[in-house]
Amino acid sequence: MTIKPILSVKNLSVTFPDNNGGLDALGELSFEIRPREFICFLGPSGSGKTTLLRALAGLVQPSTGSVNFMYHHHEPKIGMVFQQSNLMPWRTVMENIQLSMELDGAGEVKAQNKAREMVKLMGLKGFENSFPRDLSGGMAQRVAIARALIHDPDLLLLDEPFASLDALTRERMWTELSNIWQEKKKTVVMVTHSINESLFLADRVMVLTKRPGRIKMDVEVDLPRPRPDDIRYTSHFGKLAKKLRAAIE
Amino acid sequence: MKPKTLQSLSRWLGILSILLAIPLWYLVVQISGLPKFILPSPVDVWTRFLKALQDGSLLYHAGITLVEILLGLVAGVSFATIVGYAVAKSRPLEIALSPYLVASQAIPIVAIAPLLVIWLGDGILSKLVICALIVFFPVLVNTVVGVRAVPPALYDLMRSLRATRWQILFKLELPASLPVLLGGLRIGATLSVIGAIVGELVDAEQGLGFLLQLGDFQYDTSMVFVAVFMLIALALSLYGVVTLLEKKFLKWQK
């Protein structure tokens, strides 16, 4: 059975103007994403990963091609998590999480209830009224994820969200994100340069070439879920990792 | 425990130094034997203060000056914030306006105050405009700096959430630049006091500057002292209000 995609990208390229005829960040990319799929884009630095994500978020205009969401009724709601937590320092944890509800004009009571739910889900209890300056990197990134999820986005975009965390925290966050994804069943597009991260989390990994980024390889990750911590020591994980490693320039 | 005692000690030290200055001043008057119209003693000034308070003249004139200061401050800050925001957002506007902005800063306000009084009369309006002008530049500069310092990543966040222009203004730009904006207000508040006095000294029928000049003409030097102290009190209260605002709105800062 073929499932209809919720997002289809056709011949997408992005060129940034410079004094030298323009910098091609993305070559012509085409791909489709099915609902509730967890996609990872894997590539070296400078492969235009972030540019791709920004194009999906509508923050960058495509130079050619198109990004089409298969919704007829409404503009897609997007939740985005950045490399840095990107919290508003003047807002408490609760207020940061509520931001998108506020922008949507939701009532305060509703927003607070929803935010409390997210606080529980992300393990932020006790930090509701803290300001970002008092949070550790991992905690701040949890708030950022909560903020991206609270308005039930159609598409969750993750831009190397764990890159700034230490190794232990990062691995704990993988498990947490994986659990949340299984609970919430969101469509997720994540970019990363960590092979382990992509295999641990994704249904499908696409490897990008160096600039201008094109899709070099599209791999289904057929590892069973839920994926325990030690799955990375299995031979199948190793085989997939090797394959991806070989594809990255 | 220890830093706290030190803190309260230093506060006492401040009060102590003021308390010591008064007898010292008294002593200087006694020893030098200067006449009252050159250097009045603290007792003279206190007596004059009580008299001016009782006949209502002090509060009346201080009230006039306060109104000029506040209206000028509000006008100057509002105008400077709007222009500053536009300049921060638009490069061409910045280039077009910058000669005027720099020139407005280069002209000493004392030099154009007489012109403004000629054009606008010797009432409150001319003082208000002088206050607004003197406040304008520092607040404008702070607005530009504040708005430009909003982290670009937070704009990305807002745009990814499809925030409207107004939402970006009120939920991002305003709170993000508030520390710098309040810094501008702090400078503006003290400058505004200077503006009002400059205007009143040029020509006025009322206000603390008028009182000051009246005291000067009548060799009522105690009155001059009273007016000066009243001005200091006004400036300090304004400064205190801005500090309170900062405490209230910037508690997220360390």
Between A58, A90, A102, which is nearest B252 by CB? A90
Chain B residue numbers touching A58 (CB-CB < 8 A): 159-160, 162
Q: In whole angstroms, give the CA distance from residue B173 to residue B156.
A: 13
Q: Do B176 and A84 touch (CB under 8 A)?
A: no
Residue at A127 is within a domain = yes
Q: In whole angstroms, give the CA distance from residue B146 to residue B173.
A: 8
Q: Is A78 on the interface with B (CB under 8 A)?
A: yes
| Predicted confidence band of residue B4 (pLDDT cuts 50, 70, 90) | low
Q: Are residues A7 and A118 in the same domain?
A: no
| Residue matched to tokens 């154009």 | B112
Is 1.10.3720.10 the CATH number for B47-249? yes
Contacts 24+ apart (CB under 8 A), A14-21: A14/A48, A14/A51, A14/A52, A14/A55, A14/A60, A14/A61, A14/A62, A14/A63, A15/A63
Q: Are residues A208 and A107 in the same domain?
A: no
| Predicted confidence band of residue B122 (pLDDT cuts 50, 70, 90) | confident
What's the gap in Å between the CA of A99 and the closest CA on chain B? 9
Tell me the residues of chain A between 130 and 149 that have a Cβ less than 8 Å away from chain B.
131, 133
Q: Do A103 and B162 touch (CB under 8 A)?
A: yes
Neighbouring residues of A91: CB distance < 8 A, sequence distance ≥ 6: A99, A131, A132, B252
State both tokens at B207: 């206000």
Give the per-residue pLDDT at A144: 95
Q: Are residues A179 and A213 in the same domain?
A: yes
Last residue of a domain, one of A127, A153, A179: A153
Phi, psi angle pair for B145, to nearest 5°: -60, -45
Furthest CA-CA distance within chain A: 53
* Average confidence (pLDDT) over B214-231: 94
What's the gap in Å between the CA of B38 and the closest CA on chain A? 54
- Has residue A73 got a pLDDT over 80? no
Give the per-residue pLDDT at B151: 94
Give the per-residue pLDDT at B77: 94
- Has residue B234 got a pLDDT over 70? yes
For chain A, how many structural domains are there in total? 2
Mean pLDDT of chain B: 91
* ipTM of the complex as predicted: 0.89
For residues B76 and B192, the answer to whether their CB atoms sit within 8 Å is yes
Between A57, A88, A133, which is nearest B254 by CB? A133
| Residue matched to tokens 């914030």 | B81
The enclosing domain of A228 has a CATH number of 3.40.50.300
Residue at A229 is within a domain = yes
Between B153, B162, B171, which is nearest A86 by CB? B153
CA angle A101, A107, A112 (to 5 degrees): 65
Neighbouring residues of A167: CB distance < 8 A, sequence distance ≥ 6: none
Q: Do A86 and B154 touch (CB under 8 A)?
A: yes
Give the global pTM: 0.84
For residues B91 and B144, the answer to whether their CB atoms sit within 8 Å is no
Q: Are residues A114 and A61 in the same domain?
A: no
- Has residue B3 got a pLDDT over 70? no
Q: Are residues A59 and A134 in the same domain?
A: no
* Average confidence (pLDDT) over A123-147: 93
- Has residue B1 got a pLDDT over 70? no
**Residue type at A18 in one-letter notation:** D
Q: Is A84 on the interface with B (CB under 8 A)?
A: yes
Q: Are residues A94 and A149 in the same domain?
A: yes
- Has residue A9 got a pLDDT over 80? yes
Give the per-residue pLDDT at A145: 92
For residues B185 and B70, the answer to whether their CB atoms sit within 8 Å is no
Whole domain around residue A240: which residue ranges? Answer: 1-24+35-76+154-249
Chain A residue numbers touching B163 (CB-CB < 8 A): 103
